[in-house]
Amino acid sequence: MHNLEDISFLKFTSTGYTGPAVRLAAGVQAYQANSAVASQGLRVTGGLCPTVGLAWGYVTAGRHGPLIGLHGLAADNSLEFEVVTPEKGYMVASPRENADLFWALNGGGGSAYAVILSQTTRAHSDGPVTAATLNFNKTDDATYWDAIDA
């Protein structure tokens, strides 16, 4: 899937959602998606690892990330999947079309059900985001707990 790196922007319309969306091919990694959507003044949900595949491992495991408080889990943002199954070949799975497969792919371990070619996900207006990381080397238990207490 690594070479499937297409990213396309669309105005999505369905009974459950109308608004900006991004179709991410299965090989698109988080850093690629983030760069592309930011250039359009948008953002998508994603985790902290920049090299995770959003349409494949991230959403099918029902992942979370720094934007869940504002936009929800990855599964909350999925609109549809393009997939290939052994029984039916190419198909689209959405809440209205092949709904059982759609919900199985949203956090249910997608590779057990189909090969995902792409995922269409909600796109949100970009804005400020703040994050912080604290790292320190543990030299002994007392130093560690002193740092935690501080």
- CATH number at 94 reads 3.30.465.10
In a domain, 126, yes or no: yes
Residue 1 inside a domain? The answer is no
DSSP bridge partners of 91: 83
Number of domains the chain is built from: 1
Taking the CA atoms of 37, 57, 93 and 65 in sequence, report the sign of the dihedral they define: negative
Residue 104 and residue 85 in contact, taking contact as beta carbons nearer than 8 Å: no
* Residue 108 domain-assigned (yes or no): yes
What range does the domain containing 96 cover? 7-149
Is 2 contained in some domain?
Answer: no
Q: What does the DSSP assignment read for 40-95?
A: TTEE----S-TTSBIIIIIHHTT---TTHHHH--HHHHEEEEEEEETTTEEEEE-S
H helix or E strand, kind and range, residue 121: strand 115-122
Q: What is the pLDDT of residue 120?
A: 97
| pLDDT at 110 (0 to 100) | 66
Whole-model pTM: value is: 0.83
Residues of the chain with pLDDT under 70: 62, 110, 138
Tell me, yes or no, whether 123 lies in a domain.
yes
What confidence score (pLDDT) does residue 138 get?
67
